[in-house]
Structure 1
C-alpha cells in the first residue's frame, strides 16, 4: 500500500514537471518500486502459493509471451533495416545490411536454441520473480541493442559502436543467465564465461570501422550458435543410447 502511494505521488510529479531529464529522474523510483515489490513481497506469495497448492514454476504460456515479445523486437529491427536500405545501393551499404541482418538472426537463433528447453521450477516464489525480472531486463537490453544496430547503419560514431557492443554483450550474457534458471540451483556456467570473455575481447575492436566490427561480432555469434547446436546434437546421441 505504501509503495502504491509513493508511485502515485511520483507519477503526479511526472505529469506536472517540465523537462525530459526531470521526468526521467522521477520515473526511476516508480520503475524501481514496481520491480522491487515482487521481491519484497515474496514471502506472502510463498504462503499464497502453498495455501492454493500452486506449483512454483513459470508457465509455458508466460514463456511463450516472452518469446513473442522477443520476436516482435527482432522483427521490427529487420523491418527497419530493410527500410533504411532503400536508396543505399552501394556495395558498402549492402554489405553492412547483410552483416547487421546476420546479427539479428544470430540473436534469434541463439535465444530460441537456449530458451526453448528452459523449464523454470523452484521451491519458492523468489526464483520465479528473478526469472521474470531477468527476462524483462533481457527484452529491455535487446531493444537497446536493436536501437544501436539500426542507427549504426546510418551513422558511424564511436558512441554508437560502443553502445552496440555493450548492449550486444549484455543481451547474450542475459540469454546464458536465463538458461541457468532451468537448473535446480543457479550455478556458474562455463559457457557464460566463454561468452563474456569473448565479448570483452571484441571490445578491443570497437574503434574499427562498422564493417570490421560487425564481421567480428557476427563470426562470434555464429561460433556460439555452432557450439549450442553441437551440444544439442551430442545430447541427442547420448539420450538415444
Structure 2
C-alpha cells in the first residue's frame, strides 16, 4: 500500500520524552507570520465591529488548522516522507489561503472557502491515516475524520450559496471543527484508560504556543515602524515605549506560563486549555492593532479599548495558569481583587496623553513583573 511505502506515523503510545521542536515545525509556525501580519493590517485599516467579527472567523480557521496539524505532529510526528509531505503541503495550502484574508475581512468569503477546502481535506486524510496505523488512537481518529468529512460537505455547499450567508457557513463549520472533541470524548476516555496515558498538554506543544505568541509579539514591534516618524522626538519616544511594552508582555507570558507542566482530568479540559492559548494569541494580535491606533490617535474610546484588550490578554495568561495542575511551578495567589485594582489603574491612565499613558502602563507592567518574580523566588 502507498501509505506503507511513505512511512508510518508514530503511535500515540510511542511517547518521545523531552522532545525538541523540529526545524520543519518551526518553518510551519513561521508561515503564520503572514497570517498575523495580514490580519493586523486589515484591522488597522478598518477597526470596525464587522471587521473584528470577520477577523475572529478567519483567525479561527487558520489557527484551527495550525492547532490540528501541530497536535498531530506532536503525537504522531516522525521524519517519514508521509509526515514531511503533510506539513509541507499544509504550508503551501496555508500560504495560498492567506492571499484571500483581505477579502474575508471585507466580508467576501467565497475565495477563502475554496482555499480552506484543501486544508479540511488534508486533515481528514491525516486522521484517516492515524486510524489506519494506530489501533489505540483509531476509534477517536475515525470520529475526527468523520466530523471533518461532514464539515467538508457543508463547506462545499457554502460555495454555492449567496455571499451574505457565507460568513455564517464559515463560522458554523469552524464550531464543528473545534467541537469535534465533544463528540469524540467518550472514545478518548476509553483510549486513555486502556493505554494509561495522562491527560496533558505536552511541554513541546506548550513551547509551540509560546513561539506563536512570540511571533504575534514580534508583529507588534514590526508594525510600530509603519506608524512612527523617527524624525520627531515625541514619536520616537512612543516607539521606544511600544517596544518596552511588547517586551514586558512577553516577560509576563514567560513568568506565568513558561514553566507550566500541564496535567488535566479529561479530554475536554485538555482541549479547552489549548483553545485558551489560541485566544491568548488573538488578544496579543489585537494588542498590536490597538497599539498602532493609540500611537496615531488621542481618542479616549481607542485608548480605553486598548487597555481593556491588554488587560484581557494578561488575565488570560493567569487563567491558563490557574486552570492547570502545574508540577514544580509556582501558582500565583492573585485573585479577582488584584485584577480589579489593576484594571482600574490601567483605565485611569487612559485619561493621560498617549505618550504618558504608555509610560505609565510600562511602569505598571514592570512592577507586576518584578513582584511576580519576587514571589516565584520566595516559593522556590
Tell me the TM-score normalised to structure 1 length. 0.83
1:73-222 aligned at under 5 Å gives the runs: 73-85=216-228, 87-183=229-325, 189-191=333-335, 193-222=337-366
User: Which of 40, 50, 53 is the matching residue for 2:193?
Assistant: 50
Please tell me whether Structure 1 or Structure 2 has the larger radius of gyration of its CA atoms: 2
SS at match of 1:116: coil
Per-residue Cα deviation, 1:184-208 (whole angstroms, up to 9, x for no partner): 7xx9952564134311442244344
When residues 120 and 207 of structure 1 are mapped into structure 2, their CA distance, relative to the original with a 3 A threshold, is same
| Unpaired runs of at least 5, structure 2 | 1-144
User: Which of 12, 33, 37 is the matching residue for 2:180?
Assistant: 37
When residues 134 and 26 of structure 1 are mapped into structure 2, their CA distance, relative to the original with a 3 A threshold, is same
Per-residue Cα deviation, 1:81-127 (whole angstroms, up to 9, x for no partner): 13433x34212111211221121111100101111221111232222
- Counterpart of 2:213 in structure 1 is 70
Aligned Cα RMSD in Å?
2.7
Q: CA deviation at 1:66?
A: 0.5
Contact 1:176 1:191 in 2 (8 A): no
- CA distance in structure 1 between the partners assigned to 2:247 and 2:149 by the alignment: 44
Contact 2:245 2:362 in 1 (8 A): yes
Tell me the TM-score normalised to structure 2 length. 0.55
- Counterpart of 2:80 in structure 1 is none
Which of structures 1 and 2 has the larger relative contact order (alpha carbons within 8 angstroms, sep 6+)? 1
SS at match of 1:54: coil
- CA distance in structure 1 between the partners assigned to 2:269 and 2:377 by the alignment: 29
Aligned residues: 232
- CA distance in structure 1 between the partners assigned to 2:352 and 2:165 by the alignment: 36
- CA distance in structure 1 between the partners assigned to 2:288 and 2:345 by the alignment: 21
- CA distance in structure 2 between the partners assigned to 1:143 and 1:165 by the alignment: 14
Contact 1:173 1:196 in 2 (8 A): no
When residues 48 and 205 of structure 1 are mapped into structure 2, their CA distance, relative to the original with a 3 A threshold, is same
- Counterpart of 2:56 in structure 1 is none
- CA distance in structure 2 between the partners assigned to 1:50 and 1:157 by the alignment: 56
- CA distance in structure 2 between the partners assigned to 1:189 and 1:13 by the alignment: 50
- CA distance in structure 1 between the partners assigned to 2:198 and 2:176 by the alignment: 26
| Unpaired runs of at least 5, structure 1 | 237-241
